[in-house]
Structure 1
Amino acid sequence: MKNIFVSVITATLLFYSCKQEKKETTNLVTKTQKVNTDFDNLLKEYNERKLRLFPISATQAGDARYNDKFPNSLLTEYTYKTESFYDYFKSKLESYKNSDLSESQQMSKAVLAWDCDIALAQNSFKNDLLMPINQMWTINLTIGQFASGSSSQPFKTVVDYKNWLLRLDSYNNWLKSAKDRMQEGIKEGYVLPKSLIEKVIPQFKVLANTTLKDHLFYTPIKNFPSKFSNEEKEELSKKYTNVLNEKLIPSFKSLYNFLKTDYLKAGRKDSGIDGVPQGKEYYQHAIKKYTTTTMTADEIHNLGLNEVGRILSEMEKVKEQVGFKGSLKDFFNYVRENKELMPYTSPKQIIDNFNAIHEKMKPQLEKLFGNKPKTGFIVKQTEKFREASASAEYNPGSLDGTRPGVFYTPIPNATKYNVFSDEALFLHEAIPGHHYQISLTQENKNLPDFRKTLWYSAYGEGWALYTENLGKELGLYTDPYQYFGMLGMEMHRAIRLVVDTGMHAKGWSREKAIEYSLNNEAESEASIISEIERYMANPGQALSYKIGQLKIRELRAKAKKVLGDKFDIREFHNQILETGCIPLALLENKINKWITSLK
């Protein structure tokens, strides 16, 4: 499978330019060539207009200029607006020859071309319009985080509070449109699987039935900055009360009643995206979007089966090391249920353990990384309103570094929290995984602004999964159960290749995917169910981790073999991280040039 994987990745280079002449694709720019300022201005224009078009992304990046905006992405006119935006910049790119650009600008041109193409392809499908809400990925959950007052939306000034009121007014229109679109989806065959609807219903039940002063969206009123005057507090309290009582809560009630009746009744019995119109075509698009390759579902499925087999053999070695007598499946159950691996009684103890992992590996980070981010970092428990369906995750800090990056970990019940994979989890979600990768990108003054907030899952998640394998080099995995946890997390990503393609392209049911996971990993059944339903909600995203990891590992092995004593792991990591999120074929081309320059 490795040769297939390599050839397919290489083939994707064909997609990363915008109708260039063949002679341009091989034209290397000398280091002394002047930077094309017109092209830089185009990149700035793209970034500025994109922030206006997607103001939630601007807020998440720490740009406060559009904190009062919430465009209704479910309206046809908004779809036309985004298509016009990407068409415009795609056509503008064609006027710039590679021979007139610096090497860095050529990279930006290729990245921007990819960004335009994949966004236009996404717009050609109806999924986002007619299935706008799911249990894990959709914008309503992001707004819930904002409403808590502990996320990207600031609540420090009176203007901040008034911005949020304006944004909520527009969000209320989106909620109404979501219901309209879902009713349209029922008629056209675009409906979530029933099992996912059952997970969304409780989320809206809480929002619909919670009393005003206990409501999530009332939280900012409970946390006024001390500098606010009594008059300001009173005025804002009245306005928030009115918005909640007259607009938001009625909309939440309407959606909740719709979800638990008409929508649930219409829910699909099948599990894969191939159960909706154009589902097969959409899945191939999703594969390209999330892996940045032209691999097929069959190729990825077979790659996953091979990786599962390889990792199982490594797990057998750990089972023998700890002296467990019984089958590997029995060992999975033992690890899942081992009370010694559930030592905590409070969420704080779990948070403290993650911070202790960080302290333990700090001395070794210097050996592997020459560049480290300046942006701060903290660990937090996932908010209660979304904790039941959430996975551990990383939320980036602001572009200016004033807001720290956050590693969120769900802790529904501290007494049942199993620690066996905590070291690998911290490496992936926090340091040196997403926190290093995203923060270094945001802090890189040599990158154009639009590339500081781009996200290509194959690169971003591939890097984070790659870093899990650095544990022994960082002084971790001295406990065999923690090493088994790393294998378990890698297995988890290998299984994704099998079950994601199984459900969306091979007719697998949700139950078959759950059974396959239970047979091949040590995650709890509840966690596995949540994960399988996550893949159902966002087809293809789960494929990106392993595809990206395998490419980075392949590039490291190649560099080490070719360079020999000249290979410097710190510089290799710098080369991987310095250009930020880029499609895998561009990354491979970059590393090959670096190897050649040193050779």
Structure 2
Amino acid sequence: MKKSLKLIVILLTIIYSCKEETKKVDVNVSEKFSQLIDNYYEDELKLNPINATTAGDHRYDDIFVNNLSDEFISKSKTHYTNYKKQLDSFPNESLTESEQLSKAVLTWECDINLAEFNFNANLTPIDQMWSSNLFMGQLASGSSAQPFNTVNDYKKWLKRVDGYLDWMASAEKRMKEGMQNGHVLPKALILKVIPQLKSLTNKDVDNHLFYQPIKTIPDDFANNDKLELKKAYRNMVSNKIIPAYEKLHTFMSTHYLEAGRKTSGIQGEPNGNAFYAHQIKKYTTTNMTAAEIHELGLSEVARIRSEMEKIKEQVGFKGDLKSFFNFVRSNKDLMPFKEPSEVIANFNSIHERMKPQIEKLFDVKPKTPFEVKRTEEFRENSASAEYNPGSLDGTRPGIFYTPIPDVTKYNVYSDESLFLHEAIPGHHYQISLTQESDVLPKFRKTLWYSGYGEGWALYSESLGTELGLYTDPYQLFGMLGAEMHRAVRLVVDTGLHSKGWTREQAITYSLDNEAESEAGITSEIERYMANPGQALSYKIGQLKIQELRKKAKETMGNKFDIKEFHNQILETGCVPLALLEDKINTWISQK
């Protein structure tokens, strides 16, 4: 008996020692893995310093990397290839569940970025909606992510502008290269870019966009610093910015416009089908084909039309649905504002109305403050409503920008759903909670995958009734209209880029199926033309989150808690949809 006990003690000691050794190995592996992903984050910021600025990290505020240069392309390929190799050295079984998810996300990130180098997207570097020159205009206004609080801040911006000027010169060079081999923008988009460039050739320096930070120069700056900065900024605008924009405007309004594509979709460019397949994967984070998405879009359009018919009957409108769209578009009762400030106030009032209900759906809310602002004048004619994230430390608020080019024509019928999407609980909750997380590694706090991010925002629109909104049938119609808008995107984006649709065909299809204004629809179609595939992400992501909610509720029964479900969705940060589905399925099975 004593020998048996002694043997048991020895065995237990050996087992315990092995466990302790395993713990040491695990800790060591975790430390190395943590260091790897921290290194990736730091190197990624150096590669893309504008991302650091938008995140509130101001170490690189004086740098604008020319991402069109051969040097940048080579460095980027090496960056993603090296990190992918390092990730492969960590077997999944050596990592915790959370680390495995981070590995999967970072592997996806490396793969999708490396795949993009197989195409020639850098030969069309400027468009009316997405390109770097437009974001630099936002920063130049002095009211965005670039800080202008100290003398050094002002000097950093001057250096960053010099880097930006190199990029502008490279943009023209790349576009000329594109003209030689069929990679050019559709002519309709070039016509929208030209006036954007023209507005920044204005020689009235005092009212120039890039001079605006001087108008808000802090009073506590020393007088000699103020004088020096005013002189430097005047020189920058007069002798650098205006000539650069004049040169680019001349090129785009003459030679480039003449070379503009007559085709509307990316099919019109060499290797366009393969590039579109890449874009679909990039933005939806799925392996769906263009044909599958087109059919899904047609199905969703039919389903939402039937819901719209019910609203039409509820308000007593006599006529077909298309006539009802025209009625809503032109209804002066839905265009009540005379001043842009009234539009902003309306969004703030929507926020106040929903506050009492938000606790029922969310028990974790962001600390980052939030504001509603009008889109800057220089870009609002071509802009859609959008959300710009706050800083990682929460000191800069998240901002919901809404364009108001003509306040007398501003239609309010979709404002409630728009607020839920762009603001709360849409992008502001999703992005701010990710940034504020104490658990996520740094690199996952600033990632963006449209399938998840835009999917969450569109899913948020469906929460309006639960949040005490959509009591007005027109606002409910607005929600359906917003969902229809995203369903239509599935049809027209794939139509444009895989089925040879023209810009005009896409506009007509949209006008037949939604109540947006013709001007708004035209702007939207041109947006899809500029960035193939991006518009697909909203509906694909929304449907996946709704599917997961339904599955969780049916499987868990009385144990299902909507607040906990939302926590599970939001706590991961932005991830590809397949990884999100795996996580929620694990949570369901554990419950």
TM over 0.5: yes
> Take 2:548 and 2:265, find their aligned partners in 1: how far apart are those partners?
33
Q: How does 1:153-168 map to 2 (within 5 A)?
A: 153-168=146-161
Q: Once the 2 structures are TM-superposed, how far is the Cα of residue 449 of structure 1 from its aligned partner?
A: 0.1
Partner of 1:18: none
> Take 2:133 and 2:510, find their aligned partners in 1: how far apart are those partners?
29
Q: Once the 2 structures are TM-superposed, how far is the Cα of residue 210 of structure 1 from its aligned partner?
A: 4.0
Partner of 1:462: 455
Equivalent residue letter for 1:251: A
Partner of 1:224: 217
Q: How does 1:470-549 map to 2 (within 5 A)?
A: 470-549=463-542
Contact 1:271/1:510, CA 8 A, preserved across alignment: yes
Q: How does 1:182-581 map to 2 (within 5 A)?
A: 182-581=175-574
Structure (1 or 2) with the larger CA radius of gyration: 2
Partner of 2:81: 87
Equivalent residue letter for 2:114: L
> Take 1:209 and 1:165, find their aligned partners in 2: how far apart are those partners?
19
Equivalent residue letter for 1:91: K
> Take 1:50 and 1:523, find their aligned partners in 2: how far apart are those partners?
39
Contact 1:158/1:228, CA 8 A, preserved across alignment: yes
Partner of 2:48: 54
Contact 1:209/1:253, CA 8 A, preserved across alignment: no
> Take 1:378 and 1:173, find their aligned partners in 2: how far apart are those partners?
34
Per-residue CA deviations over 1:321-348 (Å, capped at 9, x if unaligned) read: 0000000000000000000000010111
> Take 1:586 and 1:504, find their aligned partners in 2: how far apart are those partners?
27
Q: Once the 2 structures are TM-superposed, how far is the Cα of residue 456 of structure 1 from its aligned partner?
A: 0.3
> Take 2:402 and 2:268, find their aligned partners in 1: how far apart are those partners?
33
Q: Does 1:109 align with 2:103?
A: yes
> Take 1:103 and 1:195, find their aligned partners in 2: how far apart are those partners?
49
Partner of 2:60: 66
Equivalent residue letter for 2:463: L
Contact 2:425/2:460, CA 8 A, preserved across alignment: yes
Q: Once the 2 structures are TM-superposed, how far is the Cα of residue 211 of structure 1 from its aligned partner?
A: 1.6
Per-residue CA deviations over 1:408-446 (Å, capped at 9, x if unaligned) read: 000011111000000000000000000000000000010
> Take 1:209 and 1:259, find their aligned partners in 2: how far apart are those partners?
17
Q: Secondary structure at the match of 2:439?
A: coil
> Take 2:420 and 2:106, find their aligned partners in 1: how far apart are those partners?
30
Q: Once the 2 structures are TM-superposed, how far is the Cα of residue 85 of structure 1 from its aligned partner?
A: 0.3
Q: Secondary structure at the match of 2:379?
A: helix
> Take 2:97 and 2:204, find their aligned partners in 1: how far apart are those partners?
58
Q: Once the 2 structures are TM-superposed, how far is the Cα of residue 209 of structure 1 from its aligned partner?
A: 2.7
Q: Secondary structure at the match of 1:62?
A: coil
Partner of 1:13: none
Contact 1:394/1:434, CA 8 A, preserved across alignment: yes
Report the number of matched residues: 568
Q: Secondary structure at the match of 1:467?
A: helix
Q: Secondary structure at the match of 1:177?
A: helix
> Take 1:264 and 1:501, find their aligned partners in 2: how far apart are those partners?
25
Partner of 1:24: none
Per-residue CA deviations over 1:200-230 (Å, capped at 9, x if unaligned) read: 0000001113421111001011110111111
> Take 2:494 and 2:123, find their aligned partners in 1: how far apart are those partners?
23
> Take 1:552 and 1:170, find their aligned partners in 2: how far apart are those partners?
41
Q: Does 1:118 align with 2:122?
A: no
Q: CA RMSD in A?
A: 1.1
Q: How does 1:32-47 map to 2 (within 5 A)?
A: 34=27, 36-47=30-41
Q: Secondary structure at the match of 2:324?
A: helix
Per-residue CA deviations over 1:267-302 (Å, capped at 9, x if unaligned) read: 000000111111110000000000001100000000
Q: Once the 2 structures are TM-superposed, how far is the Cα of residue 179 of structure 1 from its aligned partner?
A: 0.8
The runs of 4+ residues in structure 1 deviating greater than 2 Å are 32-35
Equivalent residue letter for 1:155: F
Contact 1:462/1:552, CA 8 A, preserved across alignment: yes
Contact 2:203/2:238, CA 8 A, preserved across alignment: no
Equivalent residue letter for 1:125: F
Contact 1:136/1:537, CA 8 A, preserved across alignment: yes
Per-residue CA deviations over 1:73-122 (Å, capped at 9, x if unaligned) read: 11111100000000010000110011111110000000000000000011
In structure 2, stretches of 5+ residues that fail to align are 1-21
Q: Once the 2 structures are TM-superposed, how far is the Cα of residue 33 of structure 1 from its aligned partner?
A: 6.5
Q: Secondary structure at the match of 2:371?
A: strand
Per-residue CA deviations over 1:45-94 (Å, capped at 9, x if unaligned) read: 00000001100000000000000000111111110000000001000011
> Take 1:583 and 1:33, find their aligned partners in 2: how far apart are those partners?
27
Q: Once the 2 structures are TM-superposed, how far is the Cα of residue 593 of structure 1 from its aligned partner?
A: 0.4
> Take 1:292 and 1:180, find their aligned partners in 2: how far apart are those partners?
32
> Take 1:154 and 1:188, find their aligned partners in 2: how far apart are those partners?
41
Equivalent residue letter for 2:120: K
Partner of 1:12: none
Q: Secondary structure at the match of 2:325?
A: helix
2:92 alignment partner, one of 85, 91, 98: 98
Per-residue CA deviations over 1:339-358 (Å, capped at 9, x if unaligned) read: 00000101111100100000
Partner of 2:131: 138
Contact 2:369/2:396, CA 8 A, preserved across alignment: yes
In structure 1, stretches of 5+ residues that fail to align are 1-28
> Take 2:379 and 2:150, find their aligned partners in 1: how far apart are those partners?
27
Equivalent residue letter for 1:248: I
Per-residue CA deviations over 1:218-260 (Å, capped at 9, x if unaligned) read: 1011110111111101101111112222221111000001111
Q: Secondary structure at the match of 1:380?
A: strand
